[in-house]
Structure formats: C-alpha cells, structure tokens
Structure 1
Amino acid sequence: MLRQHQTTLHVDTRGRGLAEITRPVSEWVAQSGLREGLLTLFVRHTSASLVIQENADPDVRGDLDRFFARLVPDGDPLFRHQDEGPDDMPAHVRAALTAVQLSIPLTHGRLALGTWQGIYLWEHRTRPHRREVVAHLLGEPGPA
C-alpha cells in the first residue's frame, strides 16, 4: 500500500555557493519508514536551485561556481532586471539553467545516490538567504 510523506526543509545559506543537504534529507527519509519509492525535492525560489553533484572533492563545487561566474556574470549590462542589485538577474538565469526540482529513487529504505553523489541547494545570490525545499516522498513501507 502506497504512503506519502511531505515536509519543508529550511536551508540557511552563506551566500552564493552549494550547500549540501544530503544528510537532513536522508534522515527525514529514514524516519518515514518507507522502503521503496520516489523522493521529489522542490526549491520554492527563483534565484536558487537544486543539483546532484560530487560530494568528495570541494574543488568540483568551486569549479562550478567559477564556471557560472564566467557564464553569467554579475552586473552584465545585458540585464534590465536589477531590483535587488547586480546579482539579481544573473541569479535567475543561473536557476533557469539548472533545476528547481529533483527526483531520487528510494531503494531498501535509502536514497539511491551513487557513491560520490550529494544533494545540494545552490544559492545564486551573493548574500545569505533562508531557503525552503519541499520534500515529498511516495512509497511502500517495509515489512511490519
């Protein structure tokens, strides 16, 4: 019999960069008691995104930040929307180029992530924010 669980995780960011959320997501999934299913994560913002990325070498996260800084620079004169500063529209473009939703299978009560994969909230604004990630889990419980 399928069951559902839903929660909202709050993530305090330090400003632009990747904040790993694998542990709180995994702990919430473990508490659900579900064994097989599908987790959907959704970030409720237009200037942040979600990615699955390597969690072993921090250089990967730095390289991603540097690549996006080159691809979508702050203060680019192309952008008219600057209501909250020169990083405003670049943050929206960065979010549009990545994802605001992830789906991760649940297998044997655990997220089916690869060995070096972690779940990250990617803050695209330069100043700290409190972000919301809605987690929805649909699946079947283990044996009673």
Structure 2
Amino acid sequence: MWYQKEIRLPSKPRGFHLITDDIVRAMPELKRMKIGVCHVFIQHTSASLTINENADATVREDFENYFNRTVREGESYYRHNDEGDDDLPAHIKTSLLGSSVQIPISNGALNMGIWQGVYLGEHRDYGGERSLVITLNGEE
C-alpha cells in the first residue's frame, strides 16, 4: 500500500525543532501498517530534515550553535545574498544535513530508537511555513 500527504508546518523560529509527532499525527494510516517505510521530504532549500536526540533540548541548541559557527553568515565571498545574510548559509546547511529522511515502519509505528526524533532544521530568521511530503509504503 502507498499513502502520501503534503502537510504545512507553521512558521518556527530559527533552530532545530522536533517534528516526529507532527508526522505521526498527519498520517493516521501509519497505525494500519505492519511493515514498511516512511519517507519525509521537505520542499524547501533553506530548511532541512535530520534524525537525532529527542530527549535533551540542549542537543538541538548545540546543533544550532555548531552550524552557525561552521557556516558563518555575511562572508565577503558569498554572492547569493539577495534575501539577507542568512540566505546562502541556509542553503549550505540544508545541503549538509539533507532534505529527506527515511524511517522503518513496524507494527503500526515509526521504528526509531528510544532517543531518536525527526528534526526540522530552520536555517532562516524568517523562514515561514514549511511544506513536507510524507510517503508511506508497506503492507497492512
């Protein structure tokens, strides 16, 4: 069976945000799946998806601090800055982290580790709403 939905996440401040529950709420069909795969794709070039620690919020803060130090804003050699100093750095961060994640489905649930969650990386100061395409494939 295949299921696919596009959802919009409300605007979030710059940083890393857990969105695992948003994904599960959007796909009630997940509960009917015995085995399969959930693919989540973000339709933007300045926000990313990744899987990491879901319990300690300081991990998400450390991610933001690390990426801001690694991919600095306002560098003189950036040519793509039409939308501000965070424009090109947001694209670089998205390329480093990725625009999709895949998660196994087992017995009606995402089969993630106990300390894992899906992060939305919002790399813009004013990114706005973000669109995700969620695709489930598997057996009921």
Instruction: Bin the TM-score by the shorter chain.
Output: over 0.9
Aligned residues: 139
User: For the Cα contact (< 8 Å) 1:13–1:19, is it kept in 2?
Assistant: no
* Other-structure match for 2:48: 49
> What TM-score do you get using the length of structure 1 for normalisation?
0.91
Matches within 5 A, 1:21-100: 21-32=19-30, 33-100=32-99
1:27 Cα deviation from its structure 2 partner: 2.7
Matches within 5 A, 1:110-129: 110-129=109-128
Other structure's SS at 1:74 match: coil
Query: 1: distance between equivalents of 2:129 and 2:33?
Result: 29
* Other-structure match for 1:13: 11
Q: Identity over aligned residues, as a percent?
A: 39
Query: 1: distance between equivalents of 2:11 and 2:117?
Result: 17
Write the letter of the residue equivalent to 2:134.
Answer: A
Other structure's SS at 2:50 match: strand
* Other-structure match for 2:105: 106
Write the letter of the residue equivalent to 1:78.
Answer: Y
Query: 2: distance between equivalents of 1:31 and 1:42?
Result: 18
Query: 1: distance between equivalents of 2:12 and 2:23?
Result: 19
Write the letter of the residue equivalent to 1:63.
Answer: D
Query: 2: distance between equivalents of 1:99 and 1:121?
Result: 10
> What TM-score do you get using the length of structure 2 for normalisation?
0.94
